[in-house]
């Protein structure tokens, strides 16, 4: 076998393996599509994007889930997005799940689903026109030790060694190194990791996650510009 052919086969194997992993991760948490497709749609794929402290994700997943608007369609409001998510939460078969808060970005909506303990359970993305709801890629799939596809392998104890305070410290150190002028904001704890708002001038401008077992930092590159935030079910309790 020639060197060129070996290289092609190795590259193909890596590509197929990554695709299988992406499809499995999407299927593990569920996928609800409308006009955008269904299971197997390119919107169900995720990129690797994982990095340690000091690494920088340059946007491998950025923009992969945004869609051109449907002609004549009107973007959903945050409350309409919350209603759509509430309608599908029973599919998890877990009573007590609720919509924590909804953040609107110019690429679409980000939704935190909370458990009965008030902590984050998992994260969802909804396109601006409500054609699909999808588990957020990145930490939500790879680090979530309860709902994610790959998170269970990292769980070494019932009490993660990285506290919320340490996660904020790690996150701020990352921002000071890679995004000067930004600071950490609100923190939400999920099984196996924390997601933290990134703020600029006191206003949310993005978010990142910190692994609660390893301290790794993963910046979310796929949201776009922040528009608004709504505390959904907290406002209806």
pLDDT score at 155: 64
Confirm whether 182 is domain-assigned.
Answer: yes
Nearby residues of 104 by Cβ (< 8 Å), 6 or more positions away: 78, 110, 226, 227, 228, 229, 230
Confirm whether 66 is domain-assigned.
Answer: yes
Nearby residues of 178 by Cβ (< 8 Å), 6 or more positions away: 56, 219
Confirm whether 192 is domain-assigned.
Answer: yes
Q: What is the pTM of this model?
A: 0.72
pLDDT score at 71: 76
pLDDT score at 156: 63
pLDDT score at 152: 59
pLDDT score at 169: 96
Strand, helix or coil for residue 62: coil
Residue by residue, pLDDT tens for the chain (237 residues) are 555 444 433 333 333 333 333 333 333 344 344 332 222 222 222 222 333 333 333 333 444 455 556 677 888 999 999 999 999 999 888 899 999 999 999 889 999 999 999 999 999 999 888 888 989 999 999 999 998 876 556 666 678 899 999 999 999 999 999 999 999 999 999 999 999 999 999 999 999 999 999 999 999 999 999 998 887 665 444
For 32, 91, 96, 134, 165, the CA distances from 88, given in Å and listed in that order, are: 9, 6, 13, 11, 33
pLDDT score at 74: 86
Distance CA 44, CA 39 (A): 7
Full domain range(s) for residue 132: 53-236
The structural domain count of the chain equals 1
Confirm whether 194 is domain-assigned.
Answer: yes
Confirm whether 40 is domain-assigned.
Answer: no
């Amino acid at each position: 076998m020639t060197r060129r052919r070996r290289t092609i086969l190795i590259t193909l194997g890596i590509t197929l393996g990554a695709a299988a992993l992406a499809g499995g991760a999407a299927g593990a948490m569920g996928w609800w599509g409308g006009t955008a497709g269904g299971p197997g749609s390119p919107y169900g794929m995720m990129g690797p994007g994982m990095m340690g402290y000091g690494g920088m994700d340059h946007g491998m997943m950025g923009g992969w889930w945004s869609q051109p608007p449907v002609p004549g369609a009107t973007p959903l409001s945050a409350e309409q997005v919350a209603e759509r998510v509430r309608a599908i939460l029973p599919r998890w078969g877990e009573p007590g799940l609720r919509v924590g808060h909804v953040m609107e970005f110019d690429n679409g909506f980000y939704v935190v689903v909370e458990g009965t303990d008030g902590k984050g359970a998992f994260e969802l993305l909804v396109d601006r026109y409500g054609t699909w709801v999808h588990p957020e890629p990145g930490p939500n799939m790879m680090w979530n030790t309860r709902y994610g596809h790959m998170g269970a392998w990292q769980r070494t104890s019932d009490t993660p060694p990285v506290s919320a305070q340490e996660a904020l410290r790690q996150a701020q150190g990352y921002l000071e190194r890679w995004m000067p002028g930004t600071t950490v904001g609100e923190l939400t704890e999920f099984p196996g990791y924390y997601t933290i708002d990134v703020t600029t001038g006191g206003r949310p401008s993005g978010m990142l996650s910190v692994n609660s077992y390893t301290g790794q930092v993963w910046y979310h590159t796929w949201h776009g510009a922040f528009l608004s935030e709504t505390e959904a079910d907290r406002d209806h309790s």
